[in-house]
Structure 1
Amino acid sequence: MTHRIAAASLTALALALAAPTTPVLADNHSAASAGQQATADLSSLVAQVKIPYEEFQLDNGLTVIVHEDRKAPVVGVAVWYNVGSKDEPEGKTGFAHLFEHLMFNGSENAPQDYFQYLAEMGATDYNGTTNFDRTNYFQTVPRPALERALWLESDRMGYLLGAVTQEKLDNQRGVVQNEKRQGDNQPGGLVFYEILKTLFPEGHPYHHSVIGSMADLDAASMEDVRKWFTDKYGPNNATLVMAGDVSAAEARVLAEKYFGGIKRGPVNSPAAAEVPTLKENVRKVMRDQVAATTITRYWPAPGITDAELTALNVGAAILGGLASSRLDEVLVRDEQLAVSVSANSSNFQRVGLLSVSATAKPGVDIAVLEERLNALVTKFIAEGPTEDEVRRAATSGLARTIRGLEQVGGFGGKAVTLANGEVLAGDASFYATQLDRLAKVTPADVRQAMARWMNRPAFTLVLEPGERDANYEEAASVGAASANASERDRSAETLTVTLERPKPPISTIAELDFPDIERATLVNGMKVTYAGRTAVPATYVAMSFNAGSAADPSGKAGLESLTMDLFTEGTASLTGQQIAEASERLGVSINANGDDDRSTFTMSALSANLAPSLELMRQIMREPAFKPEDLERVRTQAVTRIRQTMKSPQGIAQRTLTAELFGPQSPYGEVSTVASVSAITRDDLVAFKDTWIRPDNGEVFVISDRPLSEIVEALNGAFGDWRAPQTAKGSKRFDTAAAAKGQRIILVNRPNSPQSIIFGAQITPLDAGEPEFVAFNSANNSLGGNFLARLNMNLRETKGWSYGVRGGTQARENAVIYGISGGVQADRTGDSLAEMIRETTEFLTTKGVTPEELERTIASEVGALPGRFETSPAVLNAMQSNALFGRPDDYQEKLAGMYRTQTRESLDAVARAALDVDDFVWVVVGDGEKVRPQLEGLGLPIEQREMEAGE
C-alpha cells in the first residue's frame, strides 16, 4: 500500500484569510474613498488553506482518501471513475453518461433502483454526474449508515453486470434521450453542439457532447455495455473519498472490508488531446426562441494542470465574471449597449474553453456592440489588469472557497475538492497548488496569458431571435414501429448473483442537533434571531421584510423585484460599480431579492470584516439612490428577462398556471409583464421602499461564529439609528382570491418542441405552519415527492418517456399549492398526462400509501435531518421559514418525532383531504399540431393559446 498524509486546519486558514483589513467604508456612515484598500498578503493567506486528509491504496489499486470533520454526524462518500465522454470511441458517443444511469438501476445484491437504498439510509446531497473527463457518484449519509453506503458503492463497482438486463438498457436509453430532448428544447439548446464541433476538429476527444448522439444511443448493445463496464470501472481506475465524521483508521478498515475483494481491471488511460488552434476566425449566426441577440467569442484554452490556467481564470473574472468587471462597467453600466455580459474560463482535464459574451440591449445595432466588445477585449489583452483588480478577484474567490468548504459532500464540498484533484491532476491536494498560483499571480501574468490564448483565431457565434434554424436530432424510436422500445417489463428481468453480499445493518440513528436559538432586540426595535456555528469564521445576516411580490400594487406587477434589483445599483455616495468593488475587496456577498411573501437582504461575510461589511449593507439598504438612469437600465434588463421567460417552456407553463390558479385579483396571481414593468416610475420605487422596507416591518436572522453580544453591537452600529418613516407601513389583502376551475387543459402552442412540458396544480387547504403539512409531504413521497415516487418511477423508470416527473407543495404564507410537473417526449404527451391523472386518482382512492413506502419515508426523513442542516445557509433558511410560517424554534428537532408517529391511515387521510384530481388545472406547453390530437382523447376541455408576443 502507498501512504500519504497532509494535515492543516481549515479554521486556521479561514481566520488568517479573514484577518482585519483597512475598512473600505468609514465608521461614521460616510463613504470612504474609492481608492485602493490595504489588504493582507495573499501568499500568507492561501498557504494555510488546507483540507487535512490521509491517502492510501488497497492491494487491488483502489485509491482511498479520508478527511476527518466532526462538526456533524454525517459523512460525504464519493466514488470517482477515471472515465468520461472524451474516452469514448467513434460510434459510441454518450456511453459514459448512459452507463452512469445504468449504475443507478441496481446491482446484483442491491437489485432495486439505488435511490431506494439511499432513501433508506437517510442520504442527502446524492447524485451521479458525467463530464468529459470523469464519472462520479456521491452521497452524504448519517454516520451510522456509512457501512451501508460503502456496501452499495462497492456492489456496483464489483458486482453490477449480473443485474444489467436488456430491459434496463432499453429503458435508460429512453431516459437519456429524453434528457437530451430536455436540453435541446431550451432556447439556445443547440448552441453547445456547434461550439464543440467548430472548436475541436473531427476525431478530437472533446469534439462531441457528453450526452452523445441519438444514433449512437440507439445503437448501444448489451455487448457494448458489458465491455464498457469491464474495461473502465475496475477499482484501480477509481478513487473513493470519505469526508466527515470518520477517522482514517476507521475508513481504512471499512474500505478494505467492502472494496478489498474486488478484482483489478484495466486502467483507462485518459485520451490524449492537444489544444487545437483554429486556422482562421470563424463566424456563425444561429436563430432560436431567445428574447435578445447574444454575441459570444470562443477560444480553445489549456487544461486544468497548465500553469497559466490560474491567470486565465483571474483574467476572465476581471474581464466579465465579477460584478465589477470591465465589460459590465462599460457595456452595461456606462454605455448601456448590453443588458448582460460574461466572460468564462471553463477548465477540463486536457483542454479548456475561454469565452466572452454580451447580450444586446433592445434597439442596439449588433455590429456596434460587437465592435465595442472586441475593442474592450483587445484593450484588456494589451494592457492587462490592475493590481487592485487581481486582488479583488482573488479575495472574492477565496471567500467563496471558505464558505463552500463548510460542506463535506454534495456538488462542491471537501470530498469533491479532493477527488477532483486526485482523478484529474493526480494529486488530491491540487487545490493547494491552484491557490498558491492564485496568491502569486500578477497583472503581468494575466496579461501574458490572455494575450497568448485570446490573440488566436476565435469562433464568433451570434444567437438571434427567430424561428430555430438548426434541427435537433431525434431518436429512431419516435414514429417507428417500435414506439414502446423504452418501456420496461420488470417481470421479464432475470438477475444473476455471482457473490452474495448481505447489506450491513444500520443499528443506530444519528439525531439532529439543531443550533440553539437566541434572541435579542436592536435599539430601533428590530427583532434578532441568532444561531451560533463555528465551522467556518463567517457571518450570515438576513434582513427580511414582510413584502415580497405579493406587495406589488395592482397593475404594477414586478415593482418589488425591480426595486430590490436597484438597491445594489447605487447609494447616496456609491455607484453600483463602487459597491461591487467594495464587496470584492471585503470578500462579502450582499444580495437583495424576494419571493412571494418576503423581501430579503442577505449578507455572507468573513467575520473579521463584519463591521465594514455591515456598513456597506447599511448604505445599500438605507440610502439607495434609485437614479433615473439606473432605473432605465435595470428596467431594460428586467423586461428582457420577462421576454425570455415567455419563450422558455418551463417559464411559459409557470406564468400561465400561476395566473389561472390564483386569478388576477389575488396578490399571488398577477404576473409581471412588459407593460406592468414599463409603467413603473422612480416615485413607485421610493414609495415601495418607504412602505415596506422599514425597521417596523422587518426582522433579522443571523448565523455566526461570533457571540450574539458582538453581533448585536455590530448591527446596532449600522442599523440602531434607523427609524421608520411617518407614513403607514404596507398591508396585503388575500380575500379577493377565487378558486380556479379545474378539470381542464390549457395548451400553449410552442412549435418545433421535441418535448412537451406538463404542469398541473391546485390550491390546497393546507397550512405550512401546521403538522398536517408535514404529514402531507410524507404522503406525497409515495406519489410525486422524490425519485422513487410513483409518477417518476412510472414515466421515467418504467416507460422511459421522461427525464423526470415530480409532484410537490409550493408553500406561501397564505396559500399552499400542489403541483405536478415534468417534460415528456412530444409523441407521448397525451399518454403521459393520462398516466399522471391515473396515478393521482388511484393514490387518492384505491392505492394509498403502502407499508413499504411508509417504512422508507420514515427512515429517509428521519435519517436525512443531520445532513439537511449541515451548513450555515441551510440553518439560516430554516430559521426564516420558521418565522414565516409561525413555527417554534425547535421545529426541526421535533420533526423526527412527527415522522415516527405517522401511519398509512394518517397519511392517506391528509392526502385525500388536501387533493382532488377534479380541481387540477393542467397546462401543456408543446407543439400544438402534434400534441392536441393526443390530448383530445382524454375527455377534458382544451383551451389552446399561442405564446405571448412579449410586448
Structure 2
Amino acid sequence: MFRSFAYALAASTALASGSVAWAAPLPAQTAPAPAAQLPAAPLAELIRPVDIPHEKFTLPNGLTVIVHTDRKAPIVAVSTWYDVGSKHEPKGKTGFAHLFEHLMFNGSENAPGDFFAPLREVGATDFNGTTSFDRTNYFETVPRAALDRALFLESDRMGYLLGAITQGVLDEQRGVVQNEKRQGDNQPYGLVKYKMTEGLFPAGSPYHHSVIGSMADLDAASLEDVKTWFRSHYGPNNAVLVLAGDITAAEARPLVQKYFGSIPKGPESARPAITVPTLSAPKVETMRDRVATTRVMRMWAVPGMDSADATALDVAAGALGGLGSSRLDNVLVRQEKLAVSVSASNQTLAQAGMFVISMDVRPGVDAKLAAQRLDQVVADFLRSGPTAEEVQRVATVTVSGTVAGLEAVGGFGGKAVALAEGELYLRDPDYYKKQLQRLAATTPASAKAAATKWLSRPVYALTVEPGARDAYEETQAAPKVPAGNTAPTPASAEGPAKGTRGAMPAVGQVQDLSFPAIQRSRLSNGIELVYAQRTAVPVTQIAISFDAGAAADPAGKLGTQALTLAVMDEGTTTRNSVALAEEQERLGTRIFSSSSPDLTYIGLGGPSANLASSVTLLADVVRNPAFAPAEVERLKATQLARIAQEMTSPGGLASRAMPPLLYGKDSPYAKLAAGSGDPAAVQALTRDDLAAFHRAWLRPDKAKVFVTSDRPLAEVQAALEKGFGDWRASGQAGVKNFASAPVQATPRILLIDRPDSPQSLIYGAQLTAEKGTDDLLALNTANDALGGNFLSRINMDLREEKHWSYGAHGSVNQLPNAVSYVISAPVQADRTGDSIAALQKDVREFLTTNGMTQQEFDRTITGETRELTGRFETSDAVLNAMISNDLLKRPDDYYATITDKYRGFTLPQLNAAARKALRPDRFVYVVVGDAKVVRPQLDSLGLPVEVVAAQPAASAQGSK
C-alpha cells in the first residue's frame, strides 16, 4: 500500500473536547447516483519509472558490491546484507542471528564502544540493523563526505569484531534482546507469531522457530558459542554490500577495496534444505489471550521467492483480502457485518512463505458462525478466482507502493534494499524488476491456479479468544544468570579492544541542507496552498489540514471526529463504499484521514500520472460524504472494537491514563485520554452527529492544503481548483476553547493492573511553562543528550548499562497550546521500581549536577547539522516539516536556516534551556503492569501510588 506521510502524523490520533455548531436537519437519504469511472493511467506507464541502474563487482575475497548512482542529495546509503538468519540456527542455538545483530552494534577492535556514537557524529540517518529468517542486514545513510568513516565501521565489524566481544558485552546484549522479546510478547496477540511458524513448519524445519529465539537458548549462549557463530557466517564471501546515492562505481571500487579487501574469506554459509511442507490433515488450535476481540486465522505454507507462484499468490491475496474492496471485506465486513476487520497476505520468505488470512470477529457475533462464513468465502474464491479487474487493481496498488518506496536510497526500504534482496537470495539484483513483470503478466487464470494449488491443501486454523492468557514457557520476569556467572558482567569491565588499523577516517566538509523552496498560493475560494516540488519519484502527496483535531471533538461525544473520518472514506453521494475503494485502487491512490491534538487531516498519495483523477476523488470524499446510516452503524462497531483493543494493550492503557494527569480535566488536551473515543458516547452517535461535525469543522474556511509533487505548482493548483475552488463555507464554524490553562496533577504514580505482563510500561511526564509557538530548538537540542536518541542518558542507562529495557526515550511534546516532556520506558516487570528510580536519578542529575557535557554537546551539534540532508531526503519528511512549521508559526525557511542556529548554540545555553523548562520533582507516572509483581516495588520511591484495574471497554460488546 502507498507509503503516505499520514502514518507519521497518526502517532497522535486521540481526540479532545470542543463545540459543534447547530446544523440544519439532513435531507432524506437516497441511493447515490453512480459516478462515472475516472480516467486512469495504464499500468505500463506506472511501471516505466521503476528502474535502479547499477554496476556490480566482486572483490577477490568474495564480497559482492553493487553501486547505484542517485544525485538528488549529497548522501550515500550503505547497506550490508549477510547470508545468515534464523533458518541457519541449529537446535539449541535459536536466536543467535538476532543476538549477533545486537552484538555487532557494540563496537569492534578498531572502533571500540557503541557504533551509534561515530554514526551519530557523522550525521547518519536511517541507521539500524534487522534480522529475518533468511538474512541479517545493517544499514545507514551518511553524508557523502562521511562515506569513508561508514565503510571503515562496516568493514571493521565484518573483519575485526572478535576481539571486542567480551563476556560483559554478551551479557549486556543478551539482556536487551530478552527484553525485546518480552516487549513483543507483552502485546495483545503477541504470542501468535510463535504459533504460526510452529503450526506450519514441522519440528526440525529451519523455519519452525521464531527469529528472536527462546529464552533458554539465549540464556545458554556462551562466549565461545557466539564467537564460533561469527566465524561461521560473517565473512565477506557471505555478504552483499550496496552503495546507493551520490557515488559512482568508479569512485566506490577503490574505497571498498581499501576497507574490505584485506578481510579473509570465511566458510560458505550453507543454504539449508527447505521444502514447502503440507500438513497431513487440517490442524485446529485455540489459544486465549488478554484481547478484546476473537481473531480467526487460516494459514498455509506456500512457495518462496524463487517460485513463480509467489507473485500469483500475492495477487490472489490482494483480491481475496488485501484490497479495500476485497472479497472478504465486502462479504464479511460490509455486507454481512460478521467481522470488524479482515485481511489476507502472502508473506514470502526466501525458500518458503506463509499465506495468512486473519479475521477479527465483530463483538456479539458467534465466532464459529463467522469462521464458517469465512471458509465459505475462501472456497468460493478458489472456485471462481479473481476477476480481470481485481487483478489489475492489485497490480496498480502494488506498483504505486513500489514507486513511492524507491524515493529513499536506503533505510528499511528504498533502492538499496531492492538491490540487496535480489542479489542475496537469487543472485539477481534486478529481481525487483522481474517481480513487477510477473505482476503485470499475472492473469485471473494464473492467480486462480496458484491459489487453488496451495490453498486447497490442509489448513492450519488458529483461533485466539479473549480470556486469561494461556501459560507459556517463557513468562519469567527476570533473565536467568548464565552458567558460571554470579551476575552479568559490566560491558566495560574488560577494557577497550586493541585495534590494529589506526584511527577512524576523518569526515570531510559536509554540505549544508538545501531545503526545498516553499511556495504559497490560494485557490479562488481563498484556501491557502503550500507547495514544495520534489522530483525524485513521480508521486504526489496532498494533505488538507483542518483547524480541528482533538480539541474539536464535541464535549460529551468523544469519538465523534474519529467516526466522522472513518465514515467519510466509506461512501459519498455518488460512490458507495465499494465503488470508492475500487476507484482508489484503479488509480493507485490512497486516500487517508488522520488527526493530531490540534489538526485534522484528509489527503492522498499516489502516482502523479493520475493527479487530476485522484484530486477529483479526494474532493468527492471531503465535500460529499454520504454518512449512510448502514455505514455509520457498521463503522461504529469497528470503532468500538478498536477502543476495546486500546484497553488491552500497554500503550493504549498508558496513553488514555496520562492526559488528565498532565493537562488537568478542564484542558481540551485532557480529552486525548479518550483515545479512539468514549465507548458509551460512540455507541450513542448518530448520522446527524457526524454530519454536524463535518459542517462545523471540515470546511473551506478552516482548511489549508499542503502538497509535495514532481508536477509544477501550476498543474497541481489547476487540479485542486477544479476539485475545491467552488467550495464555500456555510453556517457557523466550530470554535475551540483554550481559555483555561492546563494544570498538571501533583507528582504521583498511577499503576494500571494488567495481570500476566512480563514487562511494565512506564510513562513519566511533566507539563512545562513553555509555549508551543515559541522557538524551542534549544530545549529540543538539549534533550538529545537526556532522552532524544539512542545515545541519550535515559536509553544508555536502562538499555545498555542495566539491560532492563529494549529501549527508553524522552521527548518534548510541542503542541501550540501546551508543551510537555514525556518519558516512555518498557522495562522487565521485576525491575519496574528500580527503573523509575533510575529515571528519576538520570533526570535529576541532568538538570542539576551533571548537565549536558562538552562531549555530548559536540556530538549533538555536529550530528544535527550533518544529518539534515539525509533527514529530508523524502517527500514524506518535507511534507511533515511544512505542516509542523505552519502549525507552530515558524517561517517557511525554518529548516533552511536551522544549521546556523545549531552552530550558534553554546553549552551553557542548552543546559539553561533544559533547566528552565524541566523540574525533576514535578513528574507524574503511569505504570501498566502486573500489580502483584510491581506494587511492592513502588513503595520506596516516595510518591503516592494509586492502583486501578485495566478494565475492557464493555460498551464495545453492545453494537450488533
TM-score after normalising by structure 2 = 0.94
Aligned to 1:660: 661
Secondary structure of the 1:492 match is: coil
Distance 1:946 1:479, change over 3 A: farther
Q: Which amino acid letter does the alignment assign opposite residue 177 of structure 1?
A: Q
Q: Give distance in 1, aligned partners of 2:221 and 2:358.
A: 37
Deviation at 1:472, TM superposition (A): 4.6
Distance 1:667 1:163, change over 3 A: same
Q: Which amino acid letter does the alignment assign opposite residue 367 of structure 1?
A: K
Q: Give distance in 1, aligned partners of 2:695 and 2:927.
A: 41
Distance 1:474 1:290, change over 3 A: closer
Secondary structure of the 1:743 match is: coil
What does the per-residue CA deviation read over 1:255-276, in whole Å, with 9 as the maximum and x for residues that have no partner? 1111111111111022121111
Deviation at 1:700, TM superposition (A): 0.9
Q: Give distance in 1, aligned partners of 2:295 and 2:549.
A: 31
Aligned to 2:292: 291
Q: Give distance in 2, aligned partners of 1:241 and 1:377.
A: 41
**Of 670, 693, 713, which residue of structure 2 is paired with 1:708?**
713
Give matches, 1:847-862, under 5 Å: 847-862=850-865
Deviation at 1:439, TM superposition (A): 1.0
Q: Which amino acid letter does the alignment assign opposite residue 633 of structure 2?
A: E
Deviation at 1:474, TM superposition (A): 4.2
Are positions 1:674 and 2:675 aligned together? no
The answer as to whether partners of 2:172 and 2:491 remain within 8 angstroms in 1 is: no
Aligned to 2:832: 829
Deviation at 1:713, TM superposition (A): 1.5
Q: Give distance in 2, aligned partners of 1:228 and 1:236.
A: 15
What does the per-residue CA deviation read over 1:159-205, in whole Å, with 9 as the maximum and x for residues that have no partner? 11111110000111011111111111111111111121121111110
What does the per-residue CA deviation read over 1:495-531, in whole Å, with 9 as the maximum and x for residues that have no partner? 4435223211112012111111111111001111111
Aligned to 1:899: 902
The answer as to whether partners of 1:294 and 1:462 remain within 8 angstroms in 2 is: yes
Q: Give distance in 2, aligned partners of 1:532 and 1:42.
A: 24
Secondary structure of the 1:396 match is: helix
Aligned to 2:917: 914
Q: Which amino acid letter does the alignment assign opposite residue 763 of structure 1?
A: L
Deviation at 1:533, TM superposition (A): 1.6
Aligned to 2:746: 742
The answer as to whether partners of 1:235 and 1:264 remain within 8 angstroms in 2 is: yes
**Aligned-pair Cα RMSD in Å:** 1.8
Aligned to 2:935: 932
Q: Give distance in 1, aligned partners of 2:590 and 2:478.
A: 49
Aligned to 2:697: 692
What does the per-residue CA deviation read over 1:93-119, in whole Å, with 9 as the maximum and x for residues that have no partner? 000000000000000111110111110
The answer as to whether partners of 1:477 and 1:483 remain within 8 angstroms in 2 is: no
Q: Give distance in 2, aligned partners of 1:551 and 1:939.
A: 38
Aligned to 2:822: 819
Deviation at 1:56, TM superposition (A): 0.4
Give matches, 1:868-907, under 5 Å: 868-907=871-910
The answer as to whether partners of 2:523 and 2:529 remain within 8 angstroms in 1 is: yes
Aligned to 2:124: 123
Aligned to 1:757: 761
Secondary structure of the 1:180 match is: helix
What does the per-residue CA deviation read over 1:98-146, in whole Å, with 9 as the maximum and x for residues that have no partner? 0000000000111110111110010111110000000000011111111
The answer as to whether partners of 2:40 and 2:613 remain within 8 angstroms in 1 is: no
Secondary structure of the 2:379 match is: helix
Moved over 4 A (4+): 30-45, 474-488
Q: Give distance in 2, aligned partners of 1:41 and 1:707.
A: 22
Q: Which amino acid letter does the alignment assign opposite residue 763 of structure 2?
A: F
The answer as to whether partners of 2:40 and 2:587 remain within 8 angstroms in 1 is: no
Aligned to 2:51: 50
Are positions 1:729 and 2:733 aligned together? yes
Aligned to 1:17: none
Secondary structure of the 1:917 match is: coil
Secondary structure of the 1:701 match is: strand
Q: Give distance in 1, aligned partners of 2:427 and 2:762.
A: 45
Distance 1:33 1:789, change over 3 A: same
Aligned to 2:232: 231
The answer as to whether partners of 1:826 and 1:930 remain within 8 angstroms in 2 is: yes
Deviation at 1:637, TM superposition (A): 0.7
Give matches, 1:11-26, under 5 Å: none
Q: Give distance in 2, aligned partners of 1:876 and 1:48.
A: 22
Are positions 1:489 and 2:509 aligned together? no
Give matches, 1:186-265, under 5 Å: 186-265=187-266
Q: Give distance in 2, aligned partners of 1:64 and 1:497.
A: 29
Q: Report how many residues are paired.
A: 920
Deviation at 1:950, TM superposition (A): 1.2
Deviation at 1:948, TM superposition (A): 2.4
Aligned to 2:464: 463
Deviation at 1:49, TM superposition (A): 2.8
Aligned to 2:82: 81
Q: Give distance in 2, aligned partners of 1:153 and 1:621.
A: 49
Deviation at 1:868, TM superposition (A): 0.9
The answer as to whether partners of 1:128 and 1:137 remain within 8 angstroms in 2 is: yes
Deviation at 1:287, TM superposition (A): 0.7
Q: Give distance in 1, aligned partners of 2:836 and 2:247.
A: 47
Q: Give distance in 2, aligned partners of 1:590 and 1:781.
A: 35
Give matches, 1:413-452, under 5 Å: 413-452=414-453
Aligned to 2:332: 331
Aligned to 1:611: 612
TM-score after normalising by structure 1 = 0.95
Secondary structure of the 1:804 match is: coil
Long gaps (5+) in structure 1: 1-29
Deviation at 1:728, TM superposition (A): 2.1
Aligned to 2:385: 384
Long gaps (5+) in structure 2: 1-30, 955-960
The answer as to whether partners of 1:590 and 1:603 remain within 8 angstroms in 2 is: yes
Q: Give distance in 2, aligned partners of 1:485 and 1:520.
A: 68
Secondary structure of the 2:715 match is: helix
Q: Give distance in 2, aligned partners of 1:524 and 1:90.
A: 68
What does the per-residue CA deviation read over 1:417-464, in whole Å, with 9 as the maximum and x for residues that have no partner? 100111112111111111111111000000000000000001111111
Q: Which amino acid letter does the alignment assign opposite residue 755 of structure 2?
A: P
Q: Give distance in 2, aligned partners of 1:855 and 1:742.
A: 36
Q: Give distance in 1, aligned partners of 2:481 and 2:151.
A: 43
Q: Give distance in 2, aligned partners of 1:38 and 1:661.
A: 50
Distance 1:477 1:757, change over 3 A: closer
Deviation at 1:478, TM superposition (A): 4.3
The answer as to whether partners of 1:566 and 1:634 remain within 8 angstroms in 2 is: yes
What does the per-residue CA deviation read over 1:361-416, in whole Å, with 9 as the maximum and x for residues that have no partner? 11111121111100000010111010000000001111111111111011110001
The answer as to whether partners of 1:749 and 1:928 remain within 8 angstroms in 2 is: yes
Deviates more, 1:731-740 or 1:124-133: 731-740
The answer as to whether partners of 1:741 and 1:921 remain within 8 angstroms in 2 is: yes
Deviation at 1:32, TM superposition (A): 9.1
**Percent identity of the aligned residues?**
53
What does the per-residue CA deviation read over 1:196-219, in whole Å, with 9 as the maximum and x for residues that have no partner? 112111111011100000110001
Q: Which amino acid letter does the alignment assign opposite residue 714 of structure 2?
A: S
Give matches, 1:502-541, under 5 Å: 502-541=503-542
Q: Give distance in 2, aligned partners of 1:369 and 1:43.
A: 40
The answer as to whether partners of 2:168 and 2:492 remain within 8 angstroms in 1 is: no
Q: Which amino acid letter does the alignment assign opposite residue 786 of structure 1?
A: N
Deviation at 1:944, TM superposition (A): 0.7
Deviation at 1:475, TM superposition (A): 5.6
Q: Give distance in 1, aligned partners of 2:480 and 2:237.
A: 44
Distance 1:542 1:432, change over 3 A: same
The answer as to whether partners of 1:756 and 1:826 remain within 8 angstroms in 2 is: yes
What does the per-residue CA deviation read over 1:198-247, in whole Å, with 9 as the maximum and x for residues that have no partner? 21111110111000001100010111111111110001110100001111
What does the per-residue CA deviation read over 1:3-38, in whole Å, with 9 as the maximum and x for residues that have no partner? xxxxxxxxxxxxxxxxxxxxxxxxxxx999678778
